Structure 1
Amino acid sequence: MTAATWRNCKLGDLLEIKHGYAFQGEYFAGAGSHIVLTPGNFHDEGGFKDKGGKEKWYTGPVPSDYVLKEGDLIVAMTEQAEGLLGSSAIIPRSGLYLHNQRLGLVQVRDQSQADKRFLYYLFNSKPVRQQIRASASGTKIRHTAPSRIGEVKVKVPSLPVQHRIAGILSAYDDLISNNQRRIKILEEMARSLYREWFVHFRFPGHDKIKMVSSPLGHIPQGWEAKKLGDIADVNRAQINPRIAPDEVHYIDISSVSPGQIETVTTYLFSEAPGRARRIVQHGDILWSCVRPNRRSHALVMKPEPNTIASTGFAVLTTTKIPFTFLYLATTTDDFVTYLVNNATGAAYPAVTAKIFEDATLLVPTAPLLKKFGEATIPMAEQSNSLQRQNQNLRRTRNLLLPRLLSGQVDIRSTESIA
């Protein structure tokens, strides 16, 4: 089926959008029964984003009509960050997520005319996003409305072709989701081993080691309580603008979520943000200095040459221990609590490099650290390999999406993809 046979219509001919509910701020909390979704739960290119420790929980009364179901399609109607307006996502689980007022719930008018998964990809296409943004109101923060979205002009194929296109693109998303699950399993395996050996002291040969007193309580003999600054450098290197490379790969605070670097942006150095200064290398740990309760931290693995990070990060570089030990030791609940308790500033609580350097860590013997590194570094490498696979899958999907949605690709030529 060629694009010449596709029909021209408006989104409003295919769907209607239901406004969300104004949940009361007094019931927002760090834990609760439901999660209030915000535009921050969308990826820029579309898709549901799990915010980890940054979720907004709700403890108040919940109208049942605004509890989302698995498979529901939602769209961001407020641009919390540039590029998010019009982004869509599919709800991954029933009974947990709440339909907030800044989001629209997409409801298909006629199931024989439109496929919900096809509409999901249509919303995330460039022509639709451009039209939504062009009709939005506001200057600093852009807003759209159901009526404006309904006026967006689109071209759609028959329902069977919609099913086929959605199936092809979903195949990529399914592979990405599967890799994400494997990444989470690998990290939990490493964290479980860390807790078993260095929190519960059930390490190999523990039954033959005597416990002794220390500032941290009773610890195995031979272990030491050390300042982080004694076993790692904080902000070791900063780029010199006078001898900077022509091009840099920049990691911004907004691109790091708990445990993951989501995007790296390439700039000419002359056009890079002024905060693009911290030099990073393989095995470094990035920790956002602002609002440490949000747990914006990540392990840097095999970065491109000339990769730099924002000065809003503390960059931890191990000097005497495996980088996986340092990463896991500085991302525990206890370490996060230490940072939060030492942060200063009301509006933007932040910590300094010295706060990191002064943190006390329990450091085991060198042979045990070596064993831990041998067990966990391969896990980190496998996780990094899966993340790179996902980057390639997203890149391929994003190249294919506009061609499929414009009819440039004959779907018969894509049989082997799905």
Structure 2
Amino acid sequence: MSGWPIVELGGLAVFRNGLNYSSADAGVGLAVVGVSDFKDNSFVDFASLDELAPSALATEDALVRRDDILFVRSNGNRELIGRSLLVSHDPPKPTSHSGFTIRLRFHDHRADPRFFAYLLRGGTVRRHLSSQGGGTSINNLNQGILSRMEVPLPPLETQRRIASILGAYDDLIEVNRRRVAVLEEMARGLFEEWFVRFRFPGHETAPLVDTTDGSLPAGWRNGTLGDLVDFRRDGTQPGEHLQGRAYVPIECIGRRTLVLDEVRPWQDAQSSLQLFEKGDILFGAMRAYFHKVAPAPLAGVTRSTCFVLRPREPQFAAYALMQLFQDDTVAYAAAHSKGSTIPYAQWGGVLERMSCAVPDLGLAEKFQAAVQPMIDLLEAIWACNHRLAASRDLLLPRLISGQLSVEVAECELQEAA
């Protein structure tokens, strides 16, 4: 072991539960970090937060600030309890956190928040929760449990060096996320240029033909989403036969992005399961307005809260994906959903009949040739980020235990760079 002193977390920091609010607090002006924002992230992503009316804030003390750490306190999915996020920089607008989360704020200057953010993201919280539950998981995290948690307290300079090493991995992950955003914008822009504004290659000489649904370029036709994709329902049961597949429930699909937030081990797949294959399109049917649409980068299993859609023709795969990813498609799915408390999109006879323009085969093939390499690169970057995150998380316990010295880790990082 490292020989560092062990202290209780409550001796270094204070804790506060988050805001309780209702639909009456709907509005804009106060950003809120909710459980859905944790995912597998290290830091709060302020750009993706939901908002409330400023009147929902009862006290200024409920706001978060730089160097706070947030924990999931309570959730129906026990695996999410104890996940944490660091507020890595000053919030761009007033920001609070939901009542299902707990805020940690350090008052002891011997603690470096970034170091403890990495420490608490590892197995430390999960192991402590298990010990509090007599060896099993517990359903709620509370301030008392966090306060009694024993943590190592290295010298401040050592904390900062460890945080810097681990932060280098997160820096690479962030660079890759920006590359993802650029590629997604390119794919969206090309789709809209060709198929919304009709500025496709050769459009200057392509005549427009009047149809019952408006003018279309010659060779195109009016169709439906059902013409582009098959609705799959390959139901399955939990078990060993799922080995080699990833588990991707709806909460693992990011909002308005073509890459998954995370994948889970097949052992987590327990109920209402359906299979999907690489290249299928996952469409979040539960609360469709969250805009969860992504191509599957690998074979896996999801739940019935997602549609599994398979392109009918390989030449139209990229076109089908981007058509499903359009805001208009998601809005249509949301507007025609059923259920007031938890609305679900409907495929049969509803979303499958949403009208869309279907280009001629030649243009679809050109779009496929232009966009499929972008999708392939998105999937490669996604896989790279998961490897980086795994390497980062494996490095932490080796540094904490003393199995790997900070000096050696710094040298290895320099060589890798």
Could you tell me how far 1:381 is from its partner in structure 2? 0.9
Q: Given the alignment, which residue of 41, 50, 54 partners 1:56?
A: 50
Could you tell me how far 1:393 is from its partner in structure 2? 0.6
Q: Which amino acid aligns with 1:145?
A: N
Quick check: 1:232–1:317 contact (8 Å CA) kept in 2? Answer: yes
- Per-residue Cα deviation, 1:118-161 (whole angstroms, up to 9, x for no partner): 1111222323333246548xx99933333432211112211111
Could you tell me how far 1:163 is from its partner in structure 2? 0.7
Percentage of identical aligned residues: 27
Residue 305 of structure 2 aligns with which residue? 312
SS of aligned partner of 1:104: strand
CA distance in 2: counterparts of 1:151 and 1:94, whole angstroms: 33
Residue 267 of structure 1 aligns with which residue? 266
Could you tell me how far 1:218 is from its partner in structure 2? 2.3
SS of aligned partner of 1:33: strand
Q: Given the alignment of the two structures, is residue 394 of structure 1 paired with residue 389 of structure 2, yes or no?
A: yes
Residue 12 of structure 1 aligns with which residue? 10
Could you tell me how far 1:319 is from its partner in structure 2? 2.0
Q: Given the alignment of the two structures, is residue 339 of structure 1 paired with residue 336 of structure 2, yes or no?
A: no
- Paired residues for 1:338-417 under 5 Å: 338-354=332-348, 355-415=350-410, 416-417=412-413
Could you tell me how far 1:328 is from its partner in structure 2? 1.0
RMSD value over aligned CA atoms?
2.9
CA distance in 2: counterparts of 1:274 and 1:144, whole angstroms: 25
Could you tell me how far 1:240 is from its partner in structure 2? 7.1
Q: Given the alignment of the two structures, is residue 142 of structure 1 paired with residue 139 of structure 2, yes or no?
A: yes
Q: Tell me, which stretches of 5 or more residues in structure 1 are unaligned?
A: none
Q: Given the alignment, which residue of 310, 314, 319 partners 1:325?
A: 319
Q: Given the alignment of the two structures, is residue 130 of structure 1 paired with residue 124 of structure 2, yes or no?
A: no
Could you tell me how far 1:287 is from its partner in structure 2? 0.9
Quick check: 1:21–1:66 contact (8 Å CA) kept in 2? Answer: yes
Q: Given the alignment of the two structures, is residue 81 of structure 1 paired with residue 72 of structure 2, yes or no?
A: no
* 256-265 or 406-415, which deviates more: 256-265
Q: Which amino acid aligns with 1:407?
A: G
* 176-185 or 363-372, which deviates more: 363-372
Q: Tell me, which stretches of 5 or more residues in structure 2 are unaligned?
A: none
SS of aligned partner of 2:307: strand
Q: Which amino acid aligns with 1:230?
A: D
Residue 181 of structure 2 aligns with which residue? 184
SS of aligned partner of 1:202: coil
Residue 193 of structure 1 aligns with which residue? 190
SS of aligned partner of 1:261: coil
Quick check: 2:225–2:351 contact (8 Å CA) kept in 1? Answer: yes
TM-score when scaled to structure 2?
0.86
Could you tell me how far 1:262 is from its partner in structure 2? 3.0
* 273-282 or 223-232, which deviates more: 273-282
Quick check: 1:41–1:51 contact (8 Å CA) kept in 2? Answer: no
Residue 162 of structure 1 aligns with which residue? 159
Residue 104 of structure 1 aligns with which residue? 102
Quick check: 2:42–2:86 contact (8 Å CA) kept in 1? Answer: no
- Per-residue Cα deviation, 1:161-210 (whole angstroms, up to 9, x for no partner): 11111111111111111111111111011101111111122222222222
CA distance in 1: counterparts of 2:115 and 2:69, whole angstroms: 11
CA spacing shift, 1:158–1:252, aligned 2, 3 Å: same
CA spacing shift, 1:67–1:353, aligned 2, 3 Å: same
CA distance in 2: counterparts of 1:225 and 1:296, whole angstroms: 26
SS of aligned partner of 1:95: coil
Q: Which amino acid aligns with 1:170?
A: G
Quick check: 1:85–1:133 contact (8 Å CA) kept in 2? Answer: no
CA distance in 1: counterparts of 2:382 and 2:25, whole angstroms: 36
Q: Count residues in correspondence.
A: 401
CA distance in 2: counterparts of 1:141 and 1:209, whole angstroms: 64
Q: Which amino acid aligns with 1:196?
A: E
SS of aligned partner of 1:3: coil
Quick check: 1:276–1:309 contact (8 Å CA) kept in 2? Answer: yes
SS of aligned partner of 2:223: strand
- Per-residue Cα deviation, 1:74-100 (whole angstroms, up to 9, x for no partner): 233334532333322122543253234
TM-score when scaled to structure 1?
0.86
Q: Which amino acid aligns with 2:104?
A: V
- Per-residue Cα deviation, 1:193-232 (whole angstroms, up to 9, x for no partner): 1111111222222222222322332222222111222232
Quick check: 1:80–1:141 contact (8 Å CA) kept in 2? Answer: no
Residue 38 of structure 1 aligns with which residue? 34
Could you tell me how far 1:105 is from its partner in structure 2? 3.1
SS of aligned partner of 1:213: strand
Q: Which amino acid aligns with 1:262?
A: D
Q: Given the alignment of the two structures, is residue 204 of structure 1 paired with residue 201 of structure 2, yes or no?
A: yes
Residue 3 of structure 1 aligns with which residue? 2
